Structure 1
Amino acid sequence: MKPFCRDTWVEVDLDAIRANVETFRRHLPESTGIIAVVKADGYGHGAVRVGEEALASGADSLAVAMLDEAIVLREAGVQAPILVLGFTPARSVEIASRLKVQLTAYNSEWITQANALLEQANLESIGLHIKVDTGMGRLGVRTQEELMQVVTAVEQSSKLDWSGIFTHFACADEPDTTHVRRQHETFQTLLQSLRDAGKKLPMIHCCNTAAAIAFPEWGYDSIRLGIGLYGLYPSPYMKERKDVSLVPALSLKTRIAHVKTATQPMTISYGATYCAQPGEQVATLPIGYADGFSRLLSNSGEVLYNGSRSPIIGKVCMDQIMVRLEQGTGQPGDEIVLYGKSGDEEISLDEVAARIGTINYEVPCMLNYRIPRVYFRNQEEVDVFHPLTMKQVAQKTVNN
């Protein structure tokens, strides 16, 4: 039986995920590894299935934003190394230990507290990556003194292993490289201060997707492949550079629920902001802002029907939208592409982002638990996951 009832779904092309990993593998120095970033449920693509594919395609490990996301991966059977990039409360280190998940640290008091909790519980040690703030202004130590305090605290801990050190770039996707070069120079200076103090450095990583594209020579031991994993560029400028060719992995589709043809002027949706004229064919589609389809697309966005564009008319509702079918031949059950390709036409996530005044990262991340994810390989369906019912089909364990 079909694992979802409503005819609205996301399609994820696993071949695209594989192709993007392989593209970066060729672009980077041979000695540089790849950490596949699958936070935010794989940027809306599904963390488990994308994570599995990335690992099978050559990624060495996975990264998430918070420990809860790592728990989901472990419970799904993913056994590869996982790094939590964000803050983890010290009280949760016991969970990290039991699941063998690495955490990010940047505070010596946190390290002391975490170590004491692990000692009290007599649990195995966990790996820590020290975060350095070189100009992002979020988490991380900023000075040589702070860095040395944190490194010393880790070295003095019995249950914490220094496994990595990293920073994050704020402007790596921009034409002006002044800021990113300054950040990298600061990172290099801090690393050298540790070497001068006789410290043996662990895994070093600093490049996000944008930096990996523009500065592959900064790859060190690994890069963190985020938005590029999904076939999206960090900015229009990075796409224009054409250093790498990426394949978008996500499409959003639905089917027509109802069709009506106006026989007289007919207002559409809340606020009556659109009036269909006699002869216009109006199709109702079962998707709305409660699914993460932005209300900002009201009277603005377009969809694809049989390879042609059709405008969204009226305001986007919580669960439904209306479109004007220019061909005038629509029938209930006909497929509509909201994001992706139909024939020679495409509505890219970049286009949608521009329409609603945001970045392409946010568009797939908004697609939420109400929409099932259907996975394809070689144009054949291989897996379905419906977050609403939490049913995963054809799931496998990945060892890496």
Structure 2
Amino acid sequence: MRSPLPPDLETPAAETMSRALEDRPTRIRVDLDALSHNLDRIRRHVGVPVMGIVKANGYGHGLLRTALHLQAQGIEQLGVAFVEEGVALRRAGITVPILVLGGIFGDQVTQFLAHDLEITVSSVDKLGQVEATAAAMGRPATVHLKIDTGMERIGVHSYSAGPFIEAAVASRWCRIKGVYSHLACADDPDSPMTTLQLERFLDACRHFERLGAPMPIRHIANSGGVLHFRDTWLDMVRPGILMYGVRPDVTALATVDVRPAMSLLSKVIYFKVVKAGNPVSYGATWAPEYDTRVVTIPIGYGDGYPRALSSRGEVLVRGRRFPIVGRVCMDQLMVDIGGYSAWNEDEAVLVGTQGAERISMEALAARAGMIPYELLVGLTDRIPRTYVGGRSRS
């Protein structure tokens, strides 16, 4: 099934290209039942509401389809990076609360209010901009206050949060729904940074008690926090990569039973015998020591498959694991199948399972010298997304 485009991208040219890509042999298959399973297991694990993070095209899984499916599963909240992502979700029929996690410009506030998007307020100045716009429009703004506990990205430093929180509590047009921070080192279960950040965050939150104000929803746990740090779960968690069945790192503990939702698939498009000593691909960096069989797969770095996997990556064909040889090209790569046989249109698995063999996103990223996040979000829209499963929660 074709992944829908945001309405403002449904131009004739974009629509024509999207339909043309439907028949491309290279494709991403998203298992929506795996997504349901992962959400269920995370909920059972933490026992608090979940904000599902669907930014960056749903971590490569498709922004609209994943969000619609999570809404059908009764997810409590969604999170995106930019206002444009939130607007696209509203236009697609998403009605659950949506928090925009990124920083904002003052002239964007009207878009937030017009589309009922929750705003990250990260300074007293930003609070004033939101307050003024909300008053002018006669529409209260729903906000989450951002506290910086160690990322040094956006947000008021925890040690100077008092005046910020006091101003927010006094606001007439800003309704404080949440207060949050972001963990910098939660992917590492042994890092002391997470405990320090949690202490700073909870200390900042005590300003609400001192002011006699209701405590908003406190959220700080990302995927690493969900996996490794029970004390960070508080009132809500914000799993991103974990919700899609991928651990943040190969060393992350598997404390939650999640299943990969994404498979990256293609097909054999060409077969040939390469004689000993004849180099393969750009730069002539690899040549076989003996006559061998090489197949070509129509995927490359133009699709987001890393060039760093040149002569390092692996592909599954006919249930066996074979090495990529030579440099990954923009649109194609070559695989040495040795003395085995393969036919044109045989399925090639670049991420996923075939027979008893499996290539995980975590292992592939590590081999490329990347993190799984990079690999997932780098897979381009040139690869069509197809979806399987997806029953709504009864």
From 9, 21, 40, the counterpart of 2:39: 21
Q: Report the 3-state secondary structure (helix = DSSP H, G, I; strand = E; otherwise coil) of the residue aligned with 2:156.
A: coil
CA separation of 1:134 and 1:337: change in aligned 2, threshold 3 A: same
Instruction: Report what 2:256 is aligned to.
Output: 244
Q: 1: distance between equivalents of 2:75 and 2:133?
A: 32
Alignment deviations for residues 167-195 of structure 1 (CA, whole Å, 9 cap, x no partner): 11112222324221111111111111321
Instruction: Report what 1:115 is aligned to.
Output: 131
Unaligned runs of 5+ in 2: 1-18
Q: Report the 3-state secondary structure (helix = DSSP H, G, I; strand = E; otherwise coil) of the residue aligned with 2:287.
A: strand
Instruction: Report what 1:207 is aligned to.
Output: 221
Q: 1:266 touches 1:275 (CA, 8 Å); kept in 2?
A: yes
Instruction: Report what 1:60 is aligned to.
Output: 76
From 152, 162, 173, the counterpart of 2:176: 162
**Higher mean Cα deviation, 274-283 or 165-174?**
274-283
How far off is 1:301 after superposition?
0.8
Q: Does 1:131 align with 2:107?
A: no
Read off the aligned partner of 1:248 and give its amino acid letter. P
Q: 1:299 touches 1:312 (CA, 8 Å); kept in 2?
A: yes
Q: Report the 3-state secondary structure (helix = DSSP H, G, I; strand = E; otherwise coil) of the residue aligned with 2:157.
A: coil
Instruction: Report what 2:63 is aligned to.
Output: 47
How large is the RMSD of aligned CA atoms in angstroms? 2.1
Instruction: Report what 1:291 is aligned to.
Output: 303
Q: Report the 3-state secondary structure (helix = DSSP H, G, I; strand = E; otherwise coil) of the residue aligned with 2:383.
A: coil
How far off is 1:272 after superposition?
1.1
How far off is 1:200 after superposition?
1.6
TM (norm. structure 1) is 0.88
How far off is 1:10 after superposition?
0.4
Instruction: Report what 2:5 is aligned to.
Output: none
* Moved beyond 6 Å, runs of 4+: none
User: How many residues are paired up?
Assistant: 375
Q: Report the 3-state secondary structure (helix = DSSP H, G, I; strand = E; otherwise coil) of the residue aligned with 1:325.
A: strand
Q: Does 1:140 align with 2:155?
A: yes
Unaligned runs of 5+ in 1: 383-397
Alignment deviations for residues 131-153 of structure 1 (CA, whole Å, 9 cap, x no partner): 11111221111145x42332333
Q: 1: distance between equivalents of 2:353 and 2:268?
A: 17
Q: 2: distance between equivalents of 1:175 and 1:106?
A: 28
Instruction: Report what 1:364 is aligned to.
Output: 376
How far off is 1:204 after superposition?
1.2
CA separation of 1:164 and 1:346: change in aligned 2, threshold 3 A: same
Read off the aligned partner of 1:321 and give its amino acid letter. L
Q: Does 1:334 align with 2:346?
A: yes
Q: 2: distance between equivalents of 1:257 and 1:86?
A: 42
Q: Report the 3-state secondary structure (helix = DSSP H, G, I; strand = E; otherwise coil) of the residue aligned with 1:165.
A: strand
Q: 2: distance between equivalents of 1:248 and 1:196?
A: 45
Instruction: Report what 2:234 is aligned to.
Output: 220
How far off is 1:335 after superposition?
0.9
Read off the aligned partner of 2:195 and give its amino acid letter. R
Instruction: Report what 2:279 is aligned to.
Output: 267
Q: 2: distance between equivalents of 1:227 and 1:327?
A: 38
Read off the aligned partner of 1:136 and give its amino acid letter. M
